[in-house]
Every structure is written in structure tokens, then in C-alpha cells.
Chain A
């Protein structure tokens, strides 16, 4: 069985026939070809697959493509405006909020959600808001600094 879906990814609409069991993350990576979104733990714990659906974060390894039918999905590739990086991307660069980079797309999308809900977060709120995203390299310090910079807040210690 295949099901027709119409999913808009980073502003471009994709009308495709998909198997119902196709995960959204595989739709993004294999159908659309946007491989910025990663598969990490594949069990909705690590957050590497975090994207936005209609502006709200979700873990795309735990959603079916058919559930996103009619929705607008934003991935890490959709944040920059041409050559101009999104403030979160700038801040992760500036503050070196990454080492290997594998968690970074999900971390930035989860940070996007954090700032949507909490525009001026404290350090504790940043750490709490990113608890569903794991980084095995940085120890999180520079990630927190990056989010703080992106928020334009001086909360917490430098």
C-alpha cells in the first residue's frame, strides 16, 4: 500500500506516494535528499533528528511521513537565508557550540523551539529546554553559550 502525501519542506512542496511505514526522517533524507537531519539513536531520545513541523519541534524518527501530510517542515537546511546564516547558526559558529557536528542540526532546531517558547531563557532554562538533545563532544558548555548569544540575553555566567 502506498499513500499520497503533500509535504512542504523548506518552502518547496513535494507530492509523493509513500509507504505508510516511511518515517518522516527518511522522507527528508531519502525522498527530499536533505541529509542535514540525522538519524542518531532512532528511539526519540538523542534529538539528532529534530525538525520543525508547522513551526513546532518534533523528533522526525518518531513520526510517519503520512502524519506530516499537508504540513510545512523546516530542517536545518531551511534556516539560512541564502548566504546569511540564521542567528542560531551564527551563534553556534561563533561560540564553537559543536565538535563533530553530528548532533548540531538537531541541537539548533531544538534551540529554535526553545527560543520560540522561551525567548529570553536563563541558563537553567536553556539546559532544560535542550534535555532531549544529546551531544557527546562538547560537554554542552558552548552550546549553552551559543543559545544565550542567539537569544541576545546576558543571563547566567559567561
Chain B
């Protein structure tokens, strides 16, 4: 398949990205290309020009500072999955990055391109929403920060303006006692998320503290599920409490469920609580390990698991 013809410009700096975007109305930004090139080949998009930002060195890399992990927009999924900093401070993000596509896809796809594309069947929007990430964006006027909760606005729709480009993703470092998990029901060929659930759960003694749960693959944009969060927060963790909270996800799915040839909307609706339950269970297990007194063996397992 050939993409429609387009002009091609290469940026060497963030400043030049903005200049090129302003000079070429309708142009799209090319990072790793693993979301954009398939769209072009299927002729679902036909921009007059691409601005290749793949060589802008200042957009690459992972750094930990001020209680957060800052990930440059051009950092690849493989780099995120292999990062000890991400594994330590944002384990659900490391887990999600490691199950995107396949190794060759993870070598090329970037976190910035992924979020700017905002495919609901993608993994990172879901996990970044649950983790309370925010996005640094270069604009005409300088820089602004967009929280994940305001960034994803619909099917492949974001808060980015025509001349905006995501430069970095800031992820808060997990506080002590918090467990994180990403649970994915993969499409067997594409590895896109038929359903993706990201969960963070804090355990304070024998009570569940803050809970954040986000869903992907189910509705047109990654969303938080407040019903699940409220149902579990403040409860004593038990298999029954988890199952009850997971069932509450049906309150938040609405009538706009995604269905396709592989998984119907009805099937996804039925599977959603199953995936939420798995994610909550895994996150609570992580939290209990984080919370476990050092005197206990590393194999200590709470009674409710």
C-alpha cells in the first residue's frame, strides 16, 4: 500500500518543529511513524506534509526528578519497558510499554506519538490516565502542560492544537504503599488492547486508600472509572470487595461501547469487569508487597489473595 503523496520536512529542534508546523498548514508530525504510517497507507489520513521530528535529540530520554519521571516524547516503548527508573517509579507504565505490539514495533513506536495519536485501543493512554500523568506541550506561545484527564477527548482526538507538539510526559513517582498493574486482553494478531485496564491502589494497613482505574479499548477514549474507584476505596481488601468494585464498571461504560469483527460491544461489556478484577487484584498484590513489613518473608501473602 502506498500513502498519498506528501511533502517532507525534517526538524532538528523543538523550535524548528513549531516553525515548520506554522509554515505548512495541515502538516502532521512524524515521530516513530507506527501510528501515522498505517493511517497514511490506509488513506485514512492525507496530510499535505509531514514534519519528521525523529532526530530531535532533546526529545529523547528518561529522567527522574522532583518526585516524577520525565519521559521525552521520542522515547521508544522498548526504552521505557527496559528502564529501571520506570520499573521502579511507574511499574504499570513499564508493564504496558512491554506489551505493546511486538519487539520490532516497540523499537520504533514512541510515547509521544502514541499519546498524540490517541487510539482508544492503545495501551499508554489508559495507563497514563490512571497514573495521573501530564503532558508537556510546545505551542506557538511557548509551553503548556495538559493533564492526561483533559488530553484525551475522543476517538483519536486530543487537546492538541494545530501547531502543538508533545515534548515530554511527566509521570508522578508511585508513593509508598501503592500498587500498580496493567491488565490487557490483547488482539492476537495486532496486540492492540481489546480491553486494557490500568489500576493503582494504595493500601494503608488493612484498608484500601486511593484507587485510580482507567479503561482502554472499550469506549472511544481512555476513561477513568469512578464507580470502581469509589466502590473499593476505604474498604478492607477482600476478594468480595474486589469483585464488587469490578462489577461497578458497568455503571461507567455508557452506550458507546466499541465493537468490531473480533469482539462485539456485548462481549466487551461482559469482559470489562473480568479485566478490572484482574487489574485490581494484581495492583493490590503489588501494594501488599510494598506495604509488607520487612520482617515478613518476600513470599508473604495476605489472606485475601
Interfacial residues, chain A to chain B (CB-CB below 8 A): 1, 3, 19-21, 23, 42-45, 47, 50, 56-59, 62-64, 66-67, 110, 113-114, 117, 129, 131-134
Contacts and interface: CB of A to CB of B under 8 A. Distances in A.
Can you list the 3 inter-chain pairs with the closest CB atoms, starting with the nearest? A132-B102, A20-B8, A21-B3
B191 A1 contact: no
Nearest to B190: A45
B6 A67 contact: no
B52 A59 contact: no
A63 B41 contact: no
Contacts of A110: 103-104
Contacts of B104: 44, 47, 50, 57-59, 110, 113, 132
Given A62-B108, A63-B37, A21 B102 contact: no
B131 interface: no
A57 B2 CA distance: 22
Contacts of A43: 38, 41, 190
Nearest to A42: B1
Interface in B84-142: 101-105, 107-108
Given A1-B7, A20-B50, A67-B30, 13 more contacts: A1-B8, A3-B8, A42-B1, A42-B41, A43-B38, A43-B41, A44-B38, A44-B105, A62-B34, A63-B108, A113-B103, A117-B103, A132-B102
Nearest to A39: B1
Interface string B13-55: 0000000000000000010011001101100000000101010
Contacts, number: 81
A132 B50 CA distance: 27
A70 to B, nearest CB: 9
B260 interface: no
Interface residues of B, number: 29
B302 interface: no
Nearest to A2: B8
B38 A56 contact: no
Contacts of B10: 66
Contacts of B40: 21
B295 interface: no
A58 B37 CA distance: 13
Contacts of A133: 102
Interface in B172-218: 189-191
Given A62-B33, A131-B102, A134-B189, A21 B4 contact: yes
28 contacts: A3-B8, A19-B5, A20-B7, A20-B8, A20-B50, A21-B5, A42-B1, A42-B41, A43-B38, A44-B105, A45-B189, A47-B104, A57-B103, A57-B104, A58-B104, A58-B107, A62-B33, A64-B33, A66-B10, A67-B33, A67-B52, A110-B104, A113-B103, A113-B104, A114-B103, A117-B103, A132-B103, A132-B105
A79 B52 CA distance: 30
Contact of A132 (B6, B37, B101): B101
B38 A21 contact: no
Contact of A66 (B8, B41, B101, B108): B8
A56 B79 CA distance: 12
A58 B1 contact: no
Contacts of B108: 58-59, 62-63
B296 to A, nearest CB: 30
A42 B3 CA distance: 12
A44 B192 CA distance: 12
Contacts of A50: 104
B267 to A, nearest CB: 21
B2 A21 contact: yes
A20 B10 CA distance: 11
A64 B37 contact: yes
A19 to B, nearest CB: 7
A66 B40 CA distance: 15
Interface in B142-185: none
